[in-house]
Structure 1
């Protein structure tokens, strides 16, 4: 069964959607990765929020930014899939939807991301190319990657 995808501005998220998104991000980026950091970085209000629902639950999510917010190019961030559903490979669907969303909503084709190093091959499978050396962000190895 496929996910039902939606893209919303911050203002158009329901309170329940916002809560479920923040919970999912916290489950993955704070608890699962054992990383203490401030997830609420002030960028949610200017992002588009892409999420996939399965049986009424948000199980996949990412933020989409126009050029000039996180990088010179448009960007994708906070890419996550609920751990209970990763075996379904919905992360690939999420990235495809994010790329389409950036093209549709921002008219952009160039995308830059700050990717966790262990996901390099995953992003390469979607046309991203490594453009930096490894750097630490919140004590987690990252690389910059671009898609033209």
Structure 2
């Protein structure tokens, strides 16, 4: 989808309408579509870096980069592609752009993610390796993975 524009901004750089669009997309995918009631907006958003593709101010694909508890790692999550944009391979593109941004900003850190288990092969295609057994988070099977 060549018309989509890549945007990378820290929370404090987002305009109010940009933040609202991000939160709408996240709620649409994670709470409504995945039928998972949980605290979607959390304290990690305060200092997150938001990476997303948009078209006409509408978020099509999104991730957020967050600092981890461990000083040697960095993490990203809330990876989504809106249902009507999934046929454009934006999932691969948004993860690639997120990894590039992390490696640019945090070159010495290991990337650690809590991946939904059904996406394990997808993340392994980027070089991530599982580092835990499968566990439930918000009633969805996840696995910890790392990219060194």
- Asked if structure 2 preserves the Cα contact closer than 8 Å seen for 1:49 and 1:64, the reply is yes
CA distance in 2, matches of 1:14, 1:41: 18
| TM-score, normalising length: structure 2 | 0.93
Corresponding position of 1:133: 133
Q: Tell me, what secondary structure is at the counterpart of 2:43? A: coil
> Which residues of structure 2 form unaligned runs of 5+?
none
> Which residues of structure 1 form unaligned runs of 5+?
none
1:24 aligns with 2:44: no
- Asked if structure 2 preserves the Cα contact closer than 8 Å seen for 1:134 and 1:142, the reply is yes
Structure 1 segment 91-130 matched on structure 2, within 5 A: 91-130=91-130
Cα displacement (A) at 1:119: 0.5
In the TM superposition, structure 1's runs of 4+ consecutive aligned residues that sit over 6 Å from their partners are none
Aligned positions, number: 147
| TM-score, normalising length: structure 1 | 0.93
CA distance in 1, matches of 2:62, 2:108: 20
Cα displacement (A) at 1:108: 3.8
Structure 1 segment 31-110 matched on structure 2, within 5 A: 31-68=32-69, 72-110=72-110
CA distance in 2, matches of 1:66, 1:44: 10
Q: Tell me, what secondary structure is at the counterpart of 1:35? A: coil
CA distance in 2, matches of 1:97, 1:107: 14
Cα displacement (A) at 1:56: 3.2
